[in-house]
Amino acid sequence: MSKKRIVIVGSGPGGLAAGMILAKRGFSVTIVEKDDKIGGRTSEIKLGDYSFDTGPTFLHQKFTLDETFAEAGRNSSDYLDLVKLDPMTKLSWGDKTLETTYDQKRMAENIEASFPGHSEGYERFMKDHGEKLRRIYPVLQKPYHKLSAYCRSELLKVFPYIATNDTVVDVLDRYFPDDNLKLAFTFQSKYLGMSPWKCPALFTILSYTEYKYGIYHTTGGLCKIPEAMAKVFAEEGGELRLSTPVDQILFSGKSATGVKLTSGEEIKADHVIMNADYANAMHTVMNGFGKSKKKLEGKKYSCSTFMLYLGLDTLYEEEPHHHIMFADNYSKNIDEISGEKQVSDDMSMYIRNSSITDKTVAPEGHSQLYILVPTINCRHGHDWETTKAEYRNKILDRIEQRTSMKDLRSHIVEEKVYTPDTWRDSGIFMGATFNLAHTIDQMLYFRPHNKLKGFQNLFLVGGGTHPGSGLPTILESARISSNLICEEENVVSESVDLATSILAN
Ligand SMILES: Cc1cc2nc3c(=O)[nH]c(=O)nc-3n(C[C@H](O)[C@H](O)[C@H](O)COP(=O)(O)OP(=O)(O)OC[C@H]3O[C@@H](n4cnc5c(N)ncnc54)[C@H](O)[C@@H]3O)c2cc1C
């Protein structure tokens, strides 16, 4: 019998993960990618001899990455050099700092040193959240394209956590009376591009996961993850075509029959998987079966980011790998971003100096800095073209004033700036870098389904579908959609579960 054919639109982490799993399970898989490189928002940016991650720099829940590789019959450590970071992140509020670690004893000591008398709240938080994560985790591994999914026993167990109007901050108020310390457990909402004052309460599991299981760097950058998946995909016989934009998905009634490329070529398929940004794809490549731009604008979206990628002719040894500097008035900064209109002058920022851990990303004695400033998405427009130079200077001023990098400007030899418009122009709807917002009304059944509603054989993977944005959830979306296709094709595969025993401890 000939193999069933699958076309995947996009080689982001979601597309590549689905590609390697399905190729391993015996499907004939072609991934078509519009760009001349793989990885999407997780691709590499090369500037001279410097290598940068475009987007992700924190890898959480390594066990989900391991499970994804195991689904393809591989061990992630054979393809990636994963480095567990300790300390993890330096947090600073003006002069006050906290160094975070997954070592709970040291974390409590660090909290005591910076916030005397407050480690009890941290210990209680860690104790309570083990059970919360154990209950929520299985919910994130199942599809929600049928309302009957709400009757599943694992979902019933988490209703107390999701059927509430409480936000992340409401939950944290019960543990952390100090507003600054509270922020150490809220900034993870920004991984979803959301305000912790609006982010649903269930997402306190993000900071718990980080502080319990740690975060990882990948030697060479997190862009090595898509590269590793592409390698497995090729080993399993998958076909990857770069610089191959899809113009339209082809349909016969409610069935997708393949894709038409901008070159005019048609690729026939039994199933189509969409990894391209959900909202962008829905109004550009759906051949009249998608949604109007206006309708899509009615949904809620994440924030965007202003990025500086700097190649330096020096290495700041005393600067940490990850550094988050909170705005002086963080809640105002978050309000401005959520309001989608005003660019904050008092901005929060994240600086990543991975060269202190990883000597492969810059020439010897040199380094590269990745600077991310969360900012408004493009909903209301902002003239970045005329303001980006000034904003870049404000960011550099703040770094020179508040870190040991007093002479930063004089060491810049390579530079690239991304504004929200850059993200938008690369095919991300509204430049909302972290996709559709993760509000209760846009999650589970209410998020675009893994099997797209109304179609027989069109599936979604990536941050725009269930469970959501962020590498572990994106990998999970690939596993969910791959399993749905296998169910329909009666392809039996053994499910991989490394998480249960890890979460039990
Ligand atoms: C600045 C930033 C920082 C982030 N940091 C983290 C982090 O630290 N940790 C974390 O876990 N997550 C992080 N994320 C979130 C998330 O992990 C990444 O955005 C991830 O790359 C999203 O993967 P994806 O599979 O959804 O899609 P994408 O990476 O967006 O890939 C989609 C692919 O589809 C292609 N495509 C689109 N249209 C077409 C077409 N018509 N034809 C062919 N191909 C097409 C695109 O070119 C792209 O390659 C970050 C994101 C950003 C932007």
pLDDT tens figures, 51-101: 999 999 999 999 999 999 999 999 999 999 999 999 999 999 999 999 999
Q: What is the pLDDT of residue 440?
A: 82
3-state helix, strand, coil split of the chain in percent (to 5) is 40, 20, 40
**CATH 2.40.33.10 correct for 5-76+221-298+435-504:** no
Question: Residues of 87-96 as b/e, b for ≥16 C-beta within 10 angstroms?
Answer: bbbbbbbeee
Percent over 70 (pLDDT), the chain:
99
Q: Tell how far the Cα of 67 is from the centroid of ligand 1, in angstroms.
A: 20
Ligand 1 close to Cβ of residue 41 (< 6 A): yes
Mean pLDDT of the chain: 94
For residue 347, which of 358, 337, 361 has the smallest C-alpha distance?
337
- Burial-class residue 431 by CB neighbours within 10 Å (0-12, 13-18, 19+): buried
Ligand 1 close to Cβ of residue 460 (< 6 A): no
* Ligand 1 nearest-atom number relative to CA 244: 43
Ligand 1 close to Cβ of residue 245 (< 6 A): yes
Spatial contact of 57 and 291, defined as CB atoms under 8 Å apart: no
DSSP string, 252-263: ETTEEEEEEETT
Ligand 1 close to Cβ of residue 32 (< 6 A): yes
Sorting pLDDT into bands at 50, 70 and 90, what band is 441?
confident
Q: What is the pLDDT of residues 465-480, one digit of tens each?
A: 999 889 999 999 999 9
Ligand 1 pocket test, candidate residues 275, 308, 450, most atoms within 8 A of CB: 275
Ligand 1 close to Cβ of residue 277 (< 6 A): yes
Ligand 1 close to Cβ of residue 462 (< 6 A): yes
Ligand 1 pocket test, candidate residues 33, 42, 188, most atoms within 8 A of CB: 42
Q: What are phi and psi of 324, to 5 degrees?
A: -110, 120
Cα(414)–Cα(310) distance, integer angstroms:
6
Ligand 1 close to Cβ of residue 9 (< 6 A): yes
Ligand 1 close to Cβ of residue 468 (< 6 A): no
* Ligand 1 nearest-atom number relative to CA 16: 25
Query: Which tokens hold the place of 249?
Result: 């998905």
Q: Tell how far the Cα of 275 is from the centroid of ligand 1, in angstroms.
A: 9
For residue 498, which of 481, 478, 476 has the smallest C-alpha distance?
476
Ligand 1 close to Cβ of residue 226 (< 6 A): no
Specify the pTM. Answer: 0.96
**CATH 3.40.50 correct for 303-430:** no
User: Helices 13-24 and 62-71: crossing angle, nearest 10°?
Assistant: 40
Nearest residue by C-alpha to atom 33 in ligand 1: 10
- Extents of the domains making up the chain: 5-76+221-298+435-504, 86-214, 303-430
Whether pLDDT at 196 is above 80: yes
